[in-house]
Chain A
């Protein structure tokens, strides 16, 4: 069994949705910090993340992010598959976003062309988004991060264990986080849904001829 026995009623979305997006599939490399979120290791070496803990952390992260003013949340992704999910998250929650390369000094240099003053930072992968993570640590901002089995929890204040490399996984996790933040804020009713499904958050792959 790749996932713990949980009822659909205990989760934010049915278990099958989590599985089809592949958010429970972690990497082959495991760190000690992440061992508390790993349910089991598959025979091919892949770590299976505990979706119950992912679910709990999304609820907590949504409550945490909803307490900040919308314009003081900064969502960041330097990973290509995270561009569209982060932009969609920022669009729905009216927060700030940076996709792609981070200009050094964005948070620390007031004379930088793109100087921002957020109060909380949401990173899609602390290893890939190292520049913004370091700057957030330097000025004392809380960091919320999507972490995989190969990440450490160094300088992370709230970790959401998930697959942070897959196209569909990133789309799903940001879609779910967006929905929960809007529900906690009261922009959506408690059982309300976003106008778009999580496929709209996914980066499209354009074929090369």
Chain B
């Protein structure tokens, strides 16, 4: 049985503290958290916590100002 590799190892380190881009709260590696590079510029890391994704809260890229989703 193959083990699932830790997600987004290339974007963030496992011991790094993550803060949600939308609400600013610290997030942990819980279900529903996602980390990806900004869809528009690709230079900033966007972190979205479970609740912000669930409530479809807007995120704004601090670099290019892109508003998602």
Q: Are A157 and B68 in touch, CB under 8 angstroms?
A: yes
- Complex CA gap A138/B53 in Å reads 12
Question: Which residue of the partner chain, among B35, B37, B42, B53, contacts A155 with CB atoms under 8 Å?
Answer: B53
Describe A's contact surface by its main secondary structure.
Answer: loop
A146-165 contacts to B, CB under 8 A, are 152-159
Q: Number of contact residues on B: which range applies?
A: 20 to 34
Known: A110-B3, A137-B32. A158 touches B37 (CB 8 A): no
Instruction: Given A60-B66, A110-B2, A110-B4, verify A154-B56 contact (CB < 8 Å).
Output: yes
**Interchain CB contact under 8 A, B35 and A33:** no
A-B contact count (CB 8 A): 67
With both beta carbons as reference points, the residue of chain B lying nearest to A65 in the complex is identified as: B39
Rounded to whole angstroms, the CA-CA distance of A2 and B43 in the bound complex is 37
Shortest C-beta distance, A159 to chain B (Å), equals 4
Residues of B within 8 A of A (CB): 1-5, 7-8, 29, 31-37, 39-40, 42, 46, 48, 53-56, 66, 68-69
